[in-house]
Structure formats: structure tokens, C-alpha cells
Amino acid sequence: MRIVFAGTPDFAVPCLRIAAQRNEVVAVYTQPDRPAGRGRELTPSPVKREALLRGIPVLQPENFKAAISREALRALQPDLMIVVAYGLILPQSVLDIPTYGCWNVHASLLPRWRGAAPIQRAIEAGDRHSGVCLMQMEKGLDTGPVLLSQSLDIGEQETGGQLHDRLSALGAQVLGDGLGLLRVGLRPVARPQPAEGVTYAHKLDKAEARLDWSQPAVALADKVRAFNPWPMAEALLAGERLCLHGAVALPLQHDAAPGTVLQAGRDGIDVACGEGALRIRVLQREGGKAITAADYLNGRRDLGIGA
């Protein structure tokens, strides 16, 4: 098969490796190099770096609106285009070019969590399960029929970064299964997504990361997990703004105002919420590194050390 691969972030790299195992990837599409780091130097995407290591030609159009971009894709004569977190919505004129159309690896159990941030939204919502779908792409946003899928359980303390890595590996496995079928002439059966249960995983916004202590502790604990490692949950604690790396919800009954420190000890800092309390275990001061609550309290004697 002649495969064209389209992807950009780290999540897509394992899928590129699977697709390239038999030297079938004739070209890789990825987002244009973007400024990054303190020097704001143009930086290639993780997928571009992987492609260059493998000697695969890389194309980086801003989009496919220009006829020349579509003709360049058509000239590759692809049998299949594989799309994994590419960052562009492909028009129908592009989806129609490959012989077998375009396949997408999506990190959720569709139709739940269509859109840009399915991993973080699943954790934020308190979901207990997630997974990966291999989907035949349509013009709509993640609306296409599902070819293959695989589910997994979300750990009680699993962060967005940890789930990202597990789903990235699972996505490569599911893609490999689909390619194996196609190579022997068996096209996976396309099953339409159910009309019920559709949710959208909107793109993360750093402003969302600020915790509102009036919310239930369970919701805040889920947000802390979901937004680790980015954008990281932020909270105002005893007059200081902190990033929270690890926290758990406690079913405590209290009459304290939300945001009040109930207890500060070696096990963590317990903060009153609208319902229950949030025990902060790992945090980060501005300009510092992640430390345990116990280490933080060494420099905040005003909070006191509980039992």
C-alpha cells in the first residue's frame, strides 16, 4: 500500500511508527514549524522529527484550500491517508483522494468526546473508561463510522499525561490491527456512530485551570488530574497562587468558607470546598519546581502543621 500519514504532536508518533513498519509511508503531512521555547525559535513537530529520522518526505501546507496543495497529495497516489491529531479539518475534496479514503485515530470512545481535547475532558468529567476509535473520516467533526475500537479503564489517580501515553500506545495497536486487515484484502466493517451520547471535547484554555473553591472537591480533584501536565490547575491558597500537581477529594463535613485551610500536615493541605475538602499533596510555587505539601509547609509556618 501507498500510505500518506498526517499528524503533528507526540500522540501521533507511535501510529507513524506502526504505519511505517513496512516502508509503506510515501509522505508525511504535519503542521508548519512553530515558535517555541524562550528563544521562540521555529521548532519542528514531533511527527516531523520522526519522519526525518526515517527518511520520509515531509509536507507542511497551511491548509488544503489551494488547488496546488490538493494536487500535490493526488500526485502521491495514496491508497490510504492516516490522520492522527493533525490539527486541520480536511475538506471532502481531500478525503476523496485516497483509494480507501482517510482513517483517523481518535482518543475516545465515540460518539463521546468528539473534538480537540478528549483525553483531558474525559478525566475532568470523572469518566471511568476511555479508549481509542479507528474511524473512517467524513466531513463532519469526528462523525465518521467506526472501523475498530478498544477500551481501557481510567485509573482513580491517573493524570492527563499518563492517560495520553497509554492511549497513544493503544491507538498504534488499533491502527496496526486495521492495517493488518486491509493488507490481506479485508476492509474493516464501518459501523455508524450512535445518535445518542454525543459530547464535545472543546480545546483547553489556560483560563479554565483556575480552581473555584466553591465547587465540589471531587470536581476539583478531577480537574487537577485532567490538567496535568498542561495547563496545570492553579489555585489561590492562603494568599499565594500555586500550581497543583496532585490532590485528592475528601468527604469531609465542614462549615468553613470555600478556600479555607482546614488542616495542614505531612499528609497534605486540606482546603474547604463547596462540598467536601481537597487535600493538596504535590504543588509548585511560582518559579519553583514541584514539591510535596510537607516541603511547602516548611516555608509556610503560618499555615501550621496538623497531626
Distance, CA of 293 to CA of 291 (rounded, Å): 7
Q: In the chain, what are the domains?
A: 3-201 (3.40.50.170), 206-303 (3.10.25.10)
Helix (H) or strand (E) run with residue 223 in it: helix 217-226
Question: With the C-alpha atoms ordered 164, 166, 172, 174, is the resulting torsion angle positive or negative?
Answer: negative
The answer on whether 111 is annotated among ligand-binding residues is: yes
3-state secondary structure 180-210: HHHHCCCCCCCECCCCCCCCEECCCCHHHHE
Contact 132, 105 (CB under 8 A): yes
The answer on whether 130 is annotated among ligand-binding residues is: no
Radius of gyration from C-alpha coordinates of the chain: 23
Q: H helices within 76-140, ranges in order?
A: 92-95, 118-124
16 DSSP assignment: H
Q: Pairing between strand 25-29 and 3-7?
A: parallel
Of 142, 147, 155, residue with least CA distance to 106: 142
pLDDT at 99: 97
pLDDT at 307: 39
Distance, CA of 216 to CA of 182 (rounded, Å): 48
pLDDT in tens, 112-151: 999 999 999 999 999 999 999 999 999 999 999 999 999 9
pLDDT in tens, 77-125: 999 999 999 999 999 999 999 999 999 999 999 999 999 999 999 999 9
Is the bond into 118 cis (omega within 30 degrees of 0)? Answer: no
- CA torsion 189→192→194→199, rounded to 10°? 110
Work out the percent of the chain whose per-residue pLDDT is above 90. 92
Give the pTM.
0.95
Contact 168, 121 (CB under 8 A): no
- CA torsion 30→35→39→41, rounded to 10°? 50
All residue ranges of the chain with pLDDT < 50 are: 306-307
